[in-house]
Structure 1
């Protein structure tokens, strides 16, 4: 039996894929440098990642509008530094086809769920999830569109959500999902947002009608902010949307627009392969027109390539004093291990520290600390006795 655990699946710009335990990454204070998420190849970087269970289905939607399917455990588990395996070794992509988005689904036979699609040119489509229950290794058509368009994102919905579409020039439109008539698997969609010149869609998400969620905006230069969803009024599908951030040379264009509850962690990935994990609640709340605050410090020629939400996992991280992970190198030797430890710094940050395998037992550490304190007390007592003499 395959054990069920939370995992992270990463996909690189050059289509290398791998999975890791979600506990591999660490939460840090806002503005931290992050950890190296992978050894990048020349001109390669992590382009996207998702979190899911090993038993969930992973639907891979490509820029050409096709869909492929794997189980979470079918993606090879590799070390954090590994580049991964070519994705074509896992699914049979066609020529010039790259994965534009991945989505995790537990029950593909559900009659109560839908998939909502958004393309770069502002086209949207809603289709029943059950239309995608029988996907083979060769893949199937998920949406049809013009040759100059491509698929940007897909979201799983209940059929009663509000749709939010965001663009690189910081426009956002919100409209009821009910205004989208369900279409067949191969159908072309309808206009979701009217784009201004030079603009394109970068984000798609959903929210409840009376949601207390927030819209999270992250820009390419590492700035971000949260704004209540209800600050964005409902409008008719196909409009131009309203302003969701002020774009300047300092913060750059928008690379991520998504909804959050404030109870998630956020993984920010740069083109250099550096990944930083933050608590969403630590990101400032600002109005729609604000630029945002710095979330990650970027080096020269670095930019934010992708952003992903991660559900807080109490068992893996915050409710255990320590959890260690280990990797085995190609020559079979065990490498240094890292432990997730509680931190006393503001914001309850979580970080990792290298630990010695010989000191992996908690009782042993207590004995060492007690022995040290005993010797300190002896030294103090001895010094006091000498002074009295």
Structure 2
């Protein structure tokens, strides 16, 4: 038991104490609260799909005249008007409902046109004193003909005014915009749908009231979410349409793009109700907890032009497809939506399937159109009655005036007019109230035309009221017009689970498979699979390398490291995973997306990258040649640093070539600017440590310099001109005074076997006879054939065929040559001994 006491009474009044049972009081109070929440706050009406606060906002804005063709007003003004007239709750609840109806990511068809900061999926809106609003075009369809006795009105909370119990609602808002709310002991959660699809289903149901769910789902295959995205699996949707309860999975819309040196996952649409901040926070938490690997960075590049644009950069060495699958599993990029379609039907909460929701809306529209037609017919009949009286009066206007003038008072005039002209009291009063000057301006023809129009209107309205088929046709036509005015294309893609791409079998990290690292003549780096190089025929190589040339190649593995040798005598460590991977159909990095070497290593001043080398310590090491004719064999050692020197250079000297030896028995080759070629065994050079300065390699004439240094495998092809892979020497002569890259020069290709070997530190033999105007070699190269040349732009430059004369003159070229290489990568020294199939079989 409990004791309830009232306010302490005065001393002269006896105290009144009422004893009540606590359980009865709690039961009564809770039921009253629950009833209020269910029927007056949380659940929408199945007819117009609106909660009371939403309905009151739209009705108030309609009364205020805030139509789409008029200016915005302060949101606080609307909130205050709603709270003062109709809604007995706080301004916060009213403003929250107003904001939601203005958010395009919350409502499939917004009802309010907001101006200002109405928030985002992650951020709240500005205060109502800072924002402005007016009705959206869709709101006009919701409130149209509300003043034509189409819906019932009821007293407001203080019985001083009236409010509509439901809006006329020409738009099926419960299906199109969905609803969400939590009541006492029940909740509702309806998914948004496409207006055009919903109207098509409604019109089909009008023409065939017995249509089953399968027929309706041909028009409404699934929800159409405001934020787009994808819905995965349709079984749960069918359950929801049939029973009112079901669930489905939503996925973000993504694509994989190449972003500089990395791959990236670009998110353009998120699941319904998910914001970018929520996704980014979750991803960062998973990365910090080491539960999600492979993400290099995440950026939100969303703006008004591109819309949602969330970029997730993937680390090199990870498959974007597999990482995306993990993101779907661990982050809100994939979310679920549970449908619980509870709404008020005849004042009672019910769980509705798709057909039931459509039927309730159609019954409401039939009632609205019927009541509107009856109202309009009554108005037309009243006007026709007045027009008939005016036409009778106009037949003898002079007598009408005479009767009025001779009457003692207005009552007598009214009685005499009714008697003389056989008019009703309403017609007579209308004539008496009308000023004489207005009566004389009426044209009989205009009144007869209006009379004819009114009779036709009454006939049409009678047909609607008297024929159910005609009524249904009117509702169907009006729905079609609503779809034409307010309908938009579908945003959400529906996917069966069986149609999803199979990415589960893709490993997250790139396997440590064999691969090649390539350096092109234009300074591009890339990696490619071994299978693209081993087993390639000469015809395949010739067809593959048609743009730019590969000047250095190293066989390694995807998760290994390689080094790049520079003109300053340094080796820079480089991770293979950082390099872009070429597609399976290309071995040319320029064509397939190689990236400049400067993006991967830091070069100093005029330092340039010459070649690639593996970081092996079990081979004979590097052979290096400098511009001043110095040669050095470097002991194979790899310090625990990112860069280190491999040769001590003299003042003004620089490295012109470096080759990773396979056996130490190769032949080394120098070519000088004055067209001298020297070849001698590498075994004649004693290996030195990294601090060594090398030994004399070739004896230079005054003013001459080394332009090329390379090495040849003695076990490689050494046949004559019949062997396509036989080593060749390419020399390009020209004027030493010409600006770099401006002179085309003359080119000569000769078999390497035409040049005899000599001892180290000698002068060599002539390899090119200069023509008139030529005094130096602009470029030289020696390596396995066939030789390929490219211009500075990467375009191919045809070379003449190999000729027998080692000291012959060159053939004029069509354009300057910037680089020379060979497509037969496996035969080049420094390629770690891998041979092509054609070489092995030969």
TM-score range, shorter chain: 0.5 to 0.7
Structure 2 counterpart of 1:237:
760
Q: 1:286·1:292 contact (CA, 8 Å) conserved in 2?
A: no
Greater percentage in strand? 1
Is 2:794 the partner of 1:273?
yes
Q: 1:170·1:253 contact (CA, 8 Å) conserved in 2?
A: yes
Structure 1 counterpart of 2:748:
224
CA 1:277–1:146 in structure 2 vs 1: closer, same or farther (change >3 Å)?
A: same
Choose 76-85 or 52-61, whichever is displaced more.
76-85
Q: 1:225·1:293 contact (CA, 8 Å) conserved in 2?
A: no
Deviation at 1:135, TM superposition (A): 5.6
- Residue by residue over 1:141-171, the C-alpha shift from the partner in whole angstroms, topping out at 9 and shown as x without a partner, is 1101112100110112222222211112210
Higher relative contact order (CA 8 A, sep 6+): 1
Is 2:679 the partner of 1:174?
yes
Aligned residues: 284
Aligned to 1:304, what secondary structure does the other structure show? coil
Deviation at 1:283, TM superposition (A): 3.0
Structure 2 counterpart of 1:256:
780
Correspondent of 1:109 among 604, 608, 617: 617
Deviation at 1:206, TM superposition (A): 2.4
- Residue by residue over 1:256-284, the C-alpha shift from the partner in whole angstroms, topping out at 9 and shown as x without a partner, is 23132xxx443312123313588xxx932
Is 2:580 the partner of 1:76?
yes
Q: 2:519·2:611 contact (CA, 8 Å) conserved in 1?
A: no
Q: 1:221·1:250 contact (CA, 8 Å) conserved in 2?
A: no
Q: 1:65·1:144 contact (CA, 8 Å) conserved in 2?
A: yes
TM-score of the pair, normalised by structure 1: 0.61
Deviation at 1:116, TM superposition (A): 0.8
Is 2:699 the partner of 1:194?
yes
Q: 2:678·2:758 contact (CA, 8 Å) conserved in 1?
A: yes
The gaps in structure 2 that reach 5 residues or longer are 1-510, 583-588, 720-725, 733-743, 827-835
Structure 1 counterpart of 2:808:
290
Q: 2:521·2:819 contact (CA, 8 Å) conserved in 1?
A: no
Q: 1:120·1:150 contact (CA, 8 Å) conserved in 2?
A: yes
* 1:49-88 equivalent positions in 2, closer than 5 A: 49-53=551-555, 55=557, 57-77=561-581, 80=590, 85=595, 87-88=597-598
CA 1:11–1:303 in structure 2 vs 1: closer, same or farther (change >3 Å)?
A: closer
Structure 1 counterpart of 2:654:
150
Structure 2 counterpart of 1:118:
625
TM-score of the pair, normalised by structure 2: 0.30
Structure 1 counterpart of 2:605:
96
CA distance in 2, matches of 1:242, 1:234: 9
CA distance in 2, matches of 1:243, 1:125: 23
The gaps in structure 1 that reach 5 residues or longer are 38-45, 320-389
CA distance in 2, matches of 1:310, 1:104: 18
CA distance in 1, matches of 2:561, 2:593: 23
Q: 1:163·1:207 contact (CA, 8 Å) conserved in 2?
A: yes
Structure 2 counterpart of 1:247:
770
CA distance in 1, matches of 2:825, 2:570: 31
Aligned to 1:271, what secondary structure does the other structure show? coil
Deviation at 1:108, TM superposition (A): 0.3
Deviation at 1:115, TM superposition (A): 1.2
